[in-house]
Structure 1
Amino acid sequence: MTPPDTSGLEAALRAEVDGEVRFDAGSRGAYVTDGSNYRQVPLGVVVPRTVEAGARAVAVCARFAAPVLSRGGGTSLAGQTTNTAVVIDWSKYCTKVLTVDAERRTCVVEPGIVLDELNRQLAVHKLQFGPKPSTHSHCALGGMIGNNSCGASAQAYGKTVDNVRRLEILTYDGQRAWVGPTPPAERARIVAGGGRLAEIYTGLDRIATEYLADIRRGYPKIPRRVSGYNLDSLLPENGFDVAKALVGSEGTLVTFLRAELDLVPVPARQSLLVLGYDDICAAADDVSHLLEHCSPSQLEALDGRMAQLMREEGAYLDSLDTLPEGDSWLLVQYSGDSQEDVDAQAHALLRAVGRDEKDANVAFSDDPEREQKMLRAREAGLGVTARPPDDRETWEGWEDSAVPPERLGDYLRDLKGLFEEFGYDHPSLYGHFGQGCVHTRIPFGLKTAEGVAGFRRFVERAADLVVSYGGSLSGEHGDGQSRGELLSRMFGARLVTAFGEFKAVFDPGNRMNPGKIVHPNPVDGQLRLGPTWRPDTPATHFGFPEDDHSFNRAVMRCVGIGNCRGHTGGVMCPSYRATMEEEHSTRGRARLLFEMLDGHADSAVKDGWRSTAVHDALDLCLACKGCKSDCPTGVDMATLKAEFLSHHYEGRLRPAAHYAMGWLPLWAKLSRIAPRLVNSVLHAPGLARAGKRLAGVDGAREAPVFAAQSFLQWWRQRDTENPDPDDPRTVVLWPDTFSTYFHPSIAKSAVRVLEDAGFRVAVPTEPVCCGLTWISTGQLPVAQKVLRRTLDVLRPYLDAGTPVIGLEPSCTAVFRSDAPELMPADQDVRRLAGQVRTFAEQLVHHAPDDWRPPQPARQATVQTHCHQHAVMKFDADRELMRRAHLDADVLDEGCCGLAGNFGFERGHHEVSMAVGELGVLPAVRGAAPDSLVLADGFSCRTQIEQGGTGRRALHLAEVLALALDGNLPGDRPERLADRPAEPSRTARWATTVALAVLAAGAVGGLCRPRR
């Protein structure tokens, strides 16, 4: 295929398409792959603002003979959403629900709308779209139609093809039409009308007639046949349904512009029965027996291997706790109009199979919250198995085969035997067993010629195996490149020829997603890795101890699942939620870092650490660490960003904000010279504006106020000697920059509460810092020096094993996570990581048994700091608030948007506020006037106070201390930090000069070795 004129193509697209047209290295690099083993660099990316603009983009591409690839969530596991083509990303703007007909139970949608968002909008009608893949939070309907997606709910509602009524399509050569069931008279009318549409229908009619017997004989009669084109939908008995024939065509035939979908009622009630078995094959053997006695809405399975991985990773433990005894489990869900109905179905099944609800290997629930816990263990499958703790890398390639449910147990035994023959130990087996669909990820060796050859031999043998059982190569994820070359083994040469003719009817020039399904690229071609992959292996500051001390392996944690593209819940990924840009998702950034490793001759990023493309993608990363916990494979983009920034600016001048906010602990210490003056200068209209410009701070941000008296000054005035480190009652209160210099009432309150609980509080009196601000700005050598000095100061407490109590979540997270990764061989760092505790952890788990927290007994709206969510978790805080009788509404609204220095930096304010407005700020505004607003993080409190909420947030320590004193605040509590009066002009200038002179001498004071 002759490469198109990309410069002319780009110019034409920019001139003629209402959308974002991107041919830069960063945009192309973000789309090089999906969730599969394959990688192809796009020609460019078009993000149309309307469906009409998308259609226009296809027309321009056709004029230049440029291949086209439509993409939504980009989570495909068979390589169908990666190609050397113009990628049209529908997921940012083309997301409308155009009509809903509740009476007919139909709706019309644009291709980019995400399934969860569609169902959210349908909820008012008590309707939903039936199929629900595990990617429901971020998969687009256009992609679901392209892949013929299924999910667990397909047990009740069928595949996507069973729920599509009509499609508005566009061929590469410009024919546009609505298609669906087409009776003979309608076909005759279309043919009589002539033109391109008549040509299409004539060709389809010929294929359906010529291959009629082959289609009837050659398509396996199983519920989960997804492989191949849906030629069976053109059979007379199936209504010659062109829309259904095009479902699952993976963008290789036409572009979907709009879709009319069938809807189903939202079940009024549900119950869940979990049955335990000795092994997964025994569970599979029982599936057909269960189906004889029930018609469940879901019948899912997971095995003991997946449970083992969850335990080793410390993930989904609450879900595992709900499962009954056994080493594998079947999860049988019932839906109905009443609780009595669904409960009765479950109990009837138990009687039929000779089990009882009280049996140790049976768990029954009709509590929705408990059911969701149980089902989360199954939905977690891909993420849990993608990166096992034993350091093996597992891959797709045979992850969704399907057989008749009654033959499932025997198929699994043979598949296990194949694993053993090829030396692929312990792949987990799970999936939609009620429909005979099996998921697994296999440790293929995709980095060596021998390993790739083994991969190819395995999938060929596995294809023959599944066909011998009357099954399908794909039962859910489609063919793409993973199975396109294997289709002849399933369908035979004659039907594969029919597939080619079917494609030629719609796309005679092979420009629609070429190389997939028809005339496919080899199963072992265009691999993301492969034997010729030779990435750079850069030296790094972070040790990446959980990734074999390899930056490359840390980057490769991302396998393309795409949870970072979710719209609600959790923390990840705030910048994607604000921008809806692939480049600003965790996955998009990981893709660019992968390209930066320059392992392929055609790598999209060629300038390594100096790459502006990678820098620009990382610039809007809030370093919230949400991905560290919310990403199923634990990608830690905050750490990767810090590493990148360190090398990117090595030997070069940094942005002003890196010196201003990156060195904040030093400037905060210097503020003690004249805090009133500093506050006046920072808030005086003219001076503040100029100062922000020089410091790289956004003009829309208000500088936080320095306290007149710092916590350390207050502590010294107490004239209390630090207690003996060996005293078991001693705890070290960590004097973080924010609780010391900005909100000292928090640290004072913590002292008050800890002492009330019987602890003896020690506070380091020499300068210490966790290095957070240097880490977040990528000044890692300085951060290491700061940490070493801090360890020197803390050594007596580290030697004694004294607990260190953190009040600021981001600082506590440094000691738990960043510092051990930055200095993995330092024993004191390891000791500190084990001794640091949150305020709530200390009081919940280590306070004397007879101590009871004060009980303010108030309602509270609570924002969890992102680093706490990601690293320390919030369980202890919930328990402490429960004991304090706080009626806490802990928000699940994501990041506040400020995220340390991010929201202060010039150019970030708009995104920062957009993130806040996605959930946190509206939730605070909506809180009851007499409720408390709690936020332990300085960033969260600042964003709430500056975000137009009219509320001032408190730290939990403040609330408990005030309750101890019987002085609980009202609606808008003022903290103890004052706002000093502005001094005279002469004093202002004199102190400014003094500050400048002293700053020069103080630089390095926090990192100079302790004498």
Structure 2
Amino acid sequence: MTTDLPDPVVRPVTPEVDVTALESALRARVAGEVRFDAGSRAAYSTDASNFRQVPIGVVVPRTPEDAVQAIAVAREHGAPVLSRGGGTSLAGQCTNTAVVLDWSKYCHQVESVDAEARTCVVQPGIVLDDLNRHLAPTGLRFGPEPATHMNCTIGGMIGNNSCGATAQRTGKVVDNIAALEVLCYDGTRFWCGETGDEEYHRIEHRGDRRAEIYRQLRRLRDRYADEIRARFPDIPRRVSGYNLDSLLPEHGFDVAGLLVGSESTLVTVLRAKLELVPVLEHRTLVVLGYSSVDKAADAVPAILPHEPVALEGLDSKLIRDEQIKHLNPEALTQLPRGRAFLMVQFAAKSPDEADAQAHTMLDELRDSDHHADVAFLDDPDREKELWRVREAGLGATAHLPGRPDTFEGWEDSAVAPDRLGDYLRRLSALYAEFGYASDTGPSLYGHFGQGCVHTRIPFDLYSAGGVATYRKFMERAADVVSEFGGSLSGEHGDGQSRGELLPRMFGVDVVRAFGQLKAIFDPGDRMNPGKVVAPHPLDADLRLGSDWSPADPQGLYFRFPHDGGSFAEAANRCVGVGRCRQHATSGGQVMCPSYQVTGEEEHSTRGRARLLFEMLGGHAGGPITDGWRSSEVREALDLCLACKGCKTDCPANVDMATYKAEFLAHHYRHRPWERPRSDLTMGWLPLIAQAVSRTRLAPVVNALTHTPGLARLATSAAGVEHRELPRFAHQSLQQWYARRGPRGSGARGTVLLWPDTFTNLFHPHIGRAAVELAEDAGWRVEMPRRALCCGLTWISTGQLATAKRVLRRTVRALAPHLRQGGLVLGLEPSCTTVFRGDAPELFPGDHDVRRLRGQTVTLAELLTQHSPGYRPPSLTGTEAVAQVHCHQHAVLGWDADEELLRRAGARVRRLDSGCCGLAGNFGFERGHLEVSEACAERVLLPALRETGPGTAVLADGFSCRTQIHEFDSGGHEGVHLAELLATAIRRGTGAPVR
């Protein structure tokens, strides 16, 4: 054995870190943000894996130099360090008891682009989609694209050696790196890449620490070259282990390639020089249907010679899971017949060329054993829909109703593509052996063109026996994939899930080389310790585990029917995929508005879910110890707009608005004096507004709240932000209707129009327009005469005991109408959402509430789904943009509105703007104005500034109209769908509103 190499790193005794001194030194010397508070530590306690380790503290560097200084301080105090990107790792490499560096908030600059050389230099925190948008004018892009492309960072991709579907064309990250600037724990800093003999000798002659590293790397390569060539699988997707093969002469002694995929265990990446590929504009997608997923895999070798740019596989179980969750419903109809599918994409410089490649492949398959049912798509919109089917895999397979929870662990093994069919048959047999296989068992999908298989398995990680079985399965599965000459990981890395299994794949000698490599760069094991080398056991540090015993609260207001009545299960819904960390200004996603503005982990849905999980105290010594009274949880939830976007946009359907309301109800229980004053003024707004209306004081109140000086006194007294308050209507909708009464034939029956607080007392003209429309469509309209409320404002402020009393009274009043099968017409999306969403979760066993949920309709639903043959008034020639209310997006949907407007002949563009930022009471609460306006400034307000004055702005939500009224400098005013259509009726008849 060569003696001039260091001994492999073994798990050392972790030295005690003086946390107080460490924090003080970091604050004194690092310009970035330093956080050692319980809330921040809780938010970073886990990633998207099975593991949980509470960090020592978190540093958010503003520049790479801040990170250099932070590591210097950590070194002086002996503290371990973990460099983290988007935090979506599935193998546990982004959770550790260490100082966590979060690059994603500030260090996202593109420092240079050389289009001629097809390279760019970036900081590690830049998100992949943001980078590719920046590069778009050059016609270039960074090639690898994981399913998390909208929120994964380049630094994280480098750490994991990420791939994605596009790796079929472009390869893994290691194949697309020109050079890296790296920092060792000891402070050594250098750029590295391929190293020719001349450059190597230049480095060696310096005689510094870098020279010592390079000499030792050469010795390591020379010592193990034969073993590396023999034991490293020759397959497209070998991600497990360190890239020792990059040191071989045939790979140019590529030190950057060696460090790619090292999961923050060797160095910290400060900057990266990336190799770029041309964008191929024209794409054609062919979907092939097969009788089973292994038969689909058998066809892969026959397809590869046609050089598709992507070749993905998925089985019918994934489709079933997406149908259960109502994901991508339109796209699922585009699939051919079969129980498993291959998505084969071709790309070229022209549509004809891409189509020709596809037809050539189909001609050859037709005459082979791999003939399939075919769906041929060359419509970009349809293609994007189907790719969303594939990218939704992780979310679709997690937390299915009535099914055991599924987990990662064996989620990305890889073999040679020509052995994939056989491997899937063996893997399915292993599922059956361990009791994981059934008709409702794990789905199989992945990057079949490169032999990589994704899956989530219903491991029992709640009991000692289940955890023991999980370990046995992992060991057996590692042996099976090794028999096939495959890799434990084909995409997500080793981390803690597979670190201890590496000897089964690589053998003792190569794993010893991994340990010596670790010792070359990090002899003290301070870089992300316990991962890959000297790993913690795969059944240690589990986020759940047999000792997880959360204090599941009793006396809940919401009943959490989708989580077995358990708040702990609800808080545990988050799988960490990070879709809530959206950076783009488009994409049709509402969540998470506050994260989009602040870039703070604890302001993402994921971060808040982590704090709630920690609040329940399932593990001894957690960072949050005061339960419902936690100030850290309250602060994290403070900037939650309760937009409900996560209820739909989150692949695990985390419903943070509901969790926030439940938390606030318990946090202030028996302590009403601690509540912000705005909870009383905004929460009790329906009663205040009713009092103003009954006493005919609207003109007086409006004058007081809109007179300079007095207006400021009014907002101060109400405890709200100093912004324009909505005006009360002089006559309420109910008062107008009581004088007018019902009209029309009522040929279609009777519909009850719900007089929500905002329509009734602030914007009654919308209600009058809706009455006119419904009667024109043949409905008889009735309206409650009593003052009723859905309870929305009490729900959103967490005054749930009052909300339930108010809502129960309303349901009793509506029950006779509901029991006769009558429809309830909602005009305000947030109030309509209470009937369709919140009420059934507050009263899941109440049959009248169930009727209310099923019989409440929007105006568009009434006129399209319940009014057969109805022809809406003509809006031909009308141009409009639509700001869809976030609750409508999340719960009600906008499909019926889109259909109705299409029938009317309007040309409407839905703004990709997400939440307007007001979100009911949020934008009026003290301390929220800046975030509220910033949310609107992301997309909505800039889009309105570019919208001509003759274009209508559809905004059914009262909050959206209020936000537009106050902040749009172009003078647009939002109009409700009812107003737009009623205007068309009047235009056609010349009649005024009745």
| TM-score normalised over the length of structure 1 | 0.94
Q: Distance in 1 between matches of 2:902 and 2:396?
A: 32
Residue 423 of structure 2 is aligned to residue 411 of structure 1 = yes
Q: Distance in 1 between matches of 2:597 and 2:51?
A: 29
2:9 is aligned to: none
**Contact between 2:949 and 2:972, CA under 8 Å: does it hold in 1?**
no
Displacement of 1:851: 3.5
Residue 330 of structure 2 is aligned to residue 309 of structure 1 = no
Distance 1:842 1:889, change over 3 A: same
**Contact between 1:41 and 1:602, CA under 8 Å: does it hold in 2?**
no
2:336 is aligned to: 324
Residue 550 of structure 2 is aligned to residue 535 of structure 1 = yes
Residue 573 of structure 2 is aligned to residue 557 of structure 1 = yes
Q: Give CA deviations for 1:657-699 in whole Å, capped at 9, x if unaligned.
A: 1100001100110111110011112223333222212322111
Displacement of 1:884: 1.3
Letter in 2 for 1:155: Q
**Contact between 1:857 and 1:884, CA under 8 Å: does it hold in 2?**
no
Residue 710 of structure 2 is aligned to residue 691 of structure 1 = no
Of 213, 232, 247, which residue of structure 1 is paired with 2:260?
247
Q: How does 1:970-985 map to 2 (within 5 A)?
A: none
2:684 is aligned to: 663
1:430 is aligned to: 445
Displacement of 1:578: 0.4
Q: Give CA deviations for 1:112-152 in whole Å, capped at 9, x if unaligned.
A: 00000000000010110000000000000000000000000
Of 528, 535, 544, which residue of structure 1 is paired with 2:560?
544
Q: Distance in 1 between matches of 2:247 and 2:18?
A: 38
Residue 105 of structure 2 is aligned to residue 92 of structure 1 = yes
1:798 is aligned to: 818
Distance 1:778 1:723, change over 3 A: farther
Displacement of 1:626: 0.2
Of 844, 847, 854, which residue of structure 2 is paired with 1:824?
844
Residue 47 of structure 2 is aligned to residue 34 of structure 1 = yes
1:986 is aligned to: none
Residue 280 of structure 2 is aligned to residue 274 of structure 1 = no
Of 161, 180, 200, which residue of structure 1 is paired with 2:193?
180
1:651 is aligned to: 670
1:682 is aligned to: 705
2:654 is aligned to: 635
2:150 is aligned to: 137
Q: Give CA deviations for 1:434-461 in whole Å, capped at 9, x if unaligned.
A: 0000000000000110000000000000
Of 182, 185, 194, which residue of structure 1 is paired with 2:207?
194
Residue 728 of structure 2 is aligned to residue 706 of structure 1 = yes
Displacement of 1:198: 1.0
**Contact between 2:744 and 2:778, CA under 8 Å: does it hold in 1?**
no
Displacement of 1:387: 1.8
1:868 is aligned to: 888
Residue 781 of structure 2 is aligned to residue 761 of structure 1 = yes
Which moves more between the two structures, 611-620 or 823-832?
823-832
Q: Distance in 2 between matches of 1:462 and 1:860?
A: 56
**Contact between 1:856 and 1:963, CA under 8 Å: does it hold in 2?**
no
Number of aligned residue pairs: give it: 966
Give the root-mean-square deviation of aligned CA atoms. 1.6
Q: Distance in 1 between matches of 2:646 and 2:741?
A: 44
Q: Distance in 2 between matches of 1:68 and 1:844?
A: 58
Residue 599 of structure 2 is aligned to residue 580 of structure 1 = yes
Q: Distance in 1 between matches of 2:977 and 2:397?
A: 38
Letter in 1 for 2:409: G
Q: Distance in 2 between matches of 1:503 and 1:114?
A: 28
Q: Distance in 1 between matches of 2:501 and 2:372?
A: 44
Q: Unmatched 5+ residue regions in structure 1?
A: 970-974, 978-1011
Displacement of 1:389: 2.4
Q: Distance in 2 between matches of 1:3 and 1:948?
A: 56
2:908 is aligned to: 888
2:6 is aligned to: none
**Contact between 2:104 and 2:126, CA under 8 Å: does it hold in 1?**
yes
**Contact between 1:230 and 1:247, CA under 8 Å: does it hold in 2?**
yes
Of 48, 67, 76, which residue of structure 1 is paired with 2:80?
67
**Contact between 2:864 and 2:896, CA under 8 Å: does it hold in 1?**
yes
1:982 is aligned to: none
Q: Give CA deviations for 1:482-534 in whole Å, capped at 9, x if unaligned.
A: 00000010001111110011011111110000000000000000000011111
Q: Distance in 1 between matches of 2:876 and 2:799?
A: 43
Q: Distance in 2 between matches of 1:258 and 1:976?
A: 64
Q: How does 1:419-458 map to 2 (within 5 A)?
A: 419-425=431-437, 426-458=441-473
Q: Give CA deviations for 1:618-675 in whole Å, capped at 9, x if unaligned.
A: 0000000000000011000000000000000000121111100001100110111110
Q: Give CA deviations for 1:814-868 in whole Å, capped at 9, x if unaligned.
A: 0001000011111111110010000000001112415333325310011000000
Of 37, 56, 70, which residue of structure 2 is paired with 1:43?
56
Residue 974 of structure 2 is aligned to residue 953 of structure 1 = yes
Q: Distance in 1 between matches of 2:544 and 2:17?
A: 26
Letter in 2 for 1:849: G
Q: How does 1:121-160 map to 2 (within 5 A)?
A: 121-160=134-173
Residue 394 of structure 2 is aligned to residue 382 of structure 1 = yes
2:270 is aligned to: 257
Letter in 2 for 1:281: D
Q: Distance in 1 between matches of 2:402 and 2:909?
A: 38
**Contact between 2:872 and 2:900, CA under 8 Å: does it hold in 1?**
no
**Contact between 1:861 and 1:932, CA under 8 Å: does it hold in 2?**
yes
Displacement of 1:728: 5.2
Q: Distance in 1 between matches of 2:252 and 2:828?
A: 65
Letter in 1 for 2:926: R
Q: Distance in 1 between matches of 2:965 and 2:523?
A: 61
Letter in 1 for 2:558: F
Q: Distance in 2 between matches of 1:967 and 1:183?
A: 80
Q: 3-state SS of the aligned residue for 1:705?
A: coil
Q: 3-state SS of the aligned residue for 1:306?
A: helix
Displacement of 1:355: 6.8
Q: Distance in 1 between matches of 2:907 and 2:553?
A: 50
1:289 is aligned to: 302
**Contact between 1:722 and 1:762, CA under 8 Å: does it hold in 2?**
no
Of 587, 594, 612, which residue of structure 2 is paired with 1:593?
612
Q: Distance in 1 between matches of 2:966 and 2:66?
A: 39
Q: 3-state SS of the aligned residue for 1:485?
A: helix
Letter in 2 for 1:835: Q
Q: Distance in 2 between matches of 1:117 and 1:234?
A: 32
Residue 894 of structure 2 is aligned to residue 878 of structure 1 = no
2:69 is aligned to: 56
Of 492, 497, 521, which residue of structure 1 is paired with 2:536?
521
Residue 936 of structure 2 is aligned to residue 916 of structure 1 = yes
Q: 3-state SS of the aligned residue for 1:681?
A: helix
Letter in 1 for 2:965: E
**Contact between 1:723 and 1:762, CA under 8 Å: does it hold in 2?**
no
Displacement of 1:976: 10
Q: Distance in 2 between matches of 1:386 and 1:719?
A: 51
**Contact between 1:959 and 1:968, CA under 8 Å: does it hold in 2?**
no
Distance 1:721 1:178, change over 3 A: same
Q: Distance in 2 between matches of 1:857 and 1:183?
A: 67
Q: 3-state SS of the aligned residue for 1:70?
A: strand
**Contact between 2:871 and 2:904, CA under 8 Å: does it hold in 1?**
no
Residue 941 of structure 2 is aligned to residue 929 of structure 1 = no
Letter in 2 for 1:589: R
Q: Distance in 2 between matches of 1:552 and 1:408?
A: 39
Displacement of 1:723: 10
Q: Give CA deviations for 1:173-202 in whole Å, capped at 9, x if unaligned.
A: 111110011112211111111111111111
1:506 is aligned to: 521
Of 783, 802, 812, which residue of structure 2 is paired with 1:782?
802
Q: 3-state SS of the aligned residue for 1:206?
A: helix
Displacement of 1:883: 1.1
